[in-house]
Amino acid sequence: MKYAGKKLLTMFLTLFAVTLFVFLAFHVISGDPASSMLGTEATPARLEALREEMGLNDPVLVQYARWAGRFLTGDMGTSYSYRMPVSDMVTDKIPVTLTLTILAFFMMVLISIPLGIYTAKHAGGVIDRIIYIFNQIIMAFPPFFSGILITLLFGRIFKLFTPGGYISYEKNFWGFVGYLFFPALAIALPKAAMAVKLLRSSVIGEARLDYVRTAYSRGNRTNDVLYKHVLKNALIPVVTFLGMALTDMIAGSIIIEQVFSIPGLGRILLTSISNRDYPVVMAIIVCISLLVLVVNMIVDMIYGLIDPRISVE
């Protein structure tokens, strides 16, 4: 309980720091929401009037306090560019990004764990070599390049999906998941390649350690040792990696959303930054940070589950 309370407190402090940094950042960069809203039709007088009305002339900390106060009471504010409630925009887009991420994550796990264990068990074999080469090449692929190639190959040539034919999850959920399949694959493949490599070397490294030899010498069978002892320890770096990969996917699906024209959080975040629409930016960042923090916390807890020597305290 004490642990959970402490975690919550640090989480809160982190969020405070992130949002404050973002707020200050908007203050530093050129352009402000008022000039963005008036565009090429701005006149000095109208700009000034709008800034005054929006409270942009107040000291930055006052503005931050105002934003934070409202946010804490559950009011995310109104988007400066879309003029609609930020909460509507965010809740509308969270399922998109979350589905994409979860899909990609499951693909990654499904591909990497079996392959990683297989290659470790059969290290040096022909299949291990082939997988190794594939891994190396996939890892060397720039993400959006693979996005383009997947679009070309599966969209244009095999016609397995319609490029740019994103279907809203509200209209047709399975169509939506179907469209996300290939983007998720584009995200999952390079991560899976890394995970396979990591798991393989981790298992092999662990198998060399003394306790494993002891286990063998006591007459345990290979598979027993592998699954009971080796894998458990070998999983630690893999869990770290999977956790990181997941947070990476949440925060970094922007490129893939762009290539495949998926209207998720990443796209909204990008356009809101360039519109200086900070109520939206702040809300999305809080969402993403929360997700990242939760994932990190889960990873920490899993450490404890796998290896009691690592205490969460």
Partner 1 sequence: MKSGKKKNYNFIVGGTITGLMLIFIIIGFFYTPYDPNAMDPSAKFAGISLKHLMGCDNFGRDILSRVMKGAGTTLSVAAGTVFIGTFFGIILGAVTGYFGGILDEILMRVNDAIFAFPSILLALVFISLLGSGTYQVVIALGIAFIPSFARIVRSEFIKCKNMDYVKNARLQGAGHLRIMFVHILPNTFTVLLSAIMIGFNNAVLAEAGMSFLGIGVQPPQASLGRMLSEAQTYLFRAPNYAIFPGLVIILMVLGFSLLGDALKREE
Partner 2 sequence: MKRKGLKSLLLVFVLTTLAIALSACSGDKEGENSSQITIGIPQDLEDSLDPHKAVAAGTKEVLFNLYEGLVKPASDGSFIPAVASAYEESEGGKVYTFTLRDGVKFHDGSTVTAEDVKFSLDKCADTSAGDPLVAAFSNIESVDIADEKTIVVTLKEANTEFLAYMTTAIIPASNENPDTNPIGTGPYKYVSRSPQENFVVEKFDEYWGEPAHIENVTFKICSNTDSLVMDLEGGSIDMFARVTASQAAELSDQFEVLEGTMNLVQALYLNNAEAPFDDVRVRQALCYAIDPDEIMMMVSDGKGTELGSSMFPAFSKYYMEELNDTYNQDLDKAKALLAEAGYPDGFSFTITVPSNYQPHIDTAQVLVEEFKAIGVNAEIQLIEWDSWLSDVYQGRQYQSTVVGVDASNLTGAALLQRFTSDAHNNFINYSNASYDEAFDKAIYSTDDAEKTKYYQECERILSEDAANVYIQDLPEFVAINKKYTGYEFYPLYVQDIAKLRLAEE
Minimum Å gap between C-beta 45 and partner 1 is 26
Q: How far apart are CA 233 and CA 253, in angstroms?
A: 30
Which member of 160, 209, 305, 310 binds partner 2 (CB under 8 A)? 305
Minimum Å gap between C-beta 136 and partner 2 is 28
Minimum Å gap between C-beta 6 and partner 1 is 9
Residues 72-91: x where in contact with partner 2 by CB under 8 A, - otherwise, as a string:
---------xxxx----x--
Cβ distance to partner 1 smaller for residue 37 or 293: 293
Considering the rule CB under 8 A, would residue 263 count as an interface residue with partner 2? yes
89, interface contact from partner 1, partner 2, none, CB < 5-8 Å by kind: partner 2
Amino acid in the structure at residue 209: L
Which member of 191, 231, 276, 285 binds partner 2 (CB under 8 A)? 276
Q: ∠ CA(101), CA(251), CA(26), 5° rounding?
A: 150
Residues near 188 by Cβ (< 8 Å), separated by ≥ 6? 104, 105, 107, 108, 111
Cβ distance to partner 1 smaller for residue 176 or 189: 189
Helix/strand/coil for 57: coil
| Structural tokens at position 88 | 């509507």
Residues in the chain: 313
* Exposure letters 22-32 (e unless 16+ CB within 10 A, then b): bbeebeeeeeb
Residue 158: how many CB atoms within 10 A of its CB? 9
Residues near 32 by Cβ (< 8 Å), separated by ≥ 6? 26, 51, 56, 276
120, interface contact from partner 1, partner 2, none, CB < 5-8 Å by kind: none
Helix/strand/coil for 19: helix
310, interface contact from partner 2, partner 1, none, CB < 5-8 Å by kind: partner 1
Q: Which of residues 137-196 bind partner 2 (CB under 8 A)?
A: 151, 155-156, 162-166, 168-173, 176-177
Cβ distance 80 to 252 under 8 Å?
A: no
Residues that bind partner 2 (CB under 8 A): 29-32, 35-50, 53, 81-84, 89, 92-93, 95, 98-99, 102, 151, 155-156, 162-166, 168-173, 176-177, 258-259, 261, 263, 267-268, 271, 274-277, 298, 301-302, 305
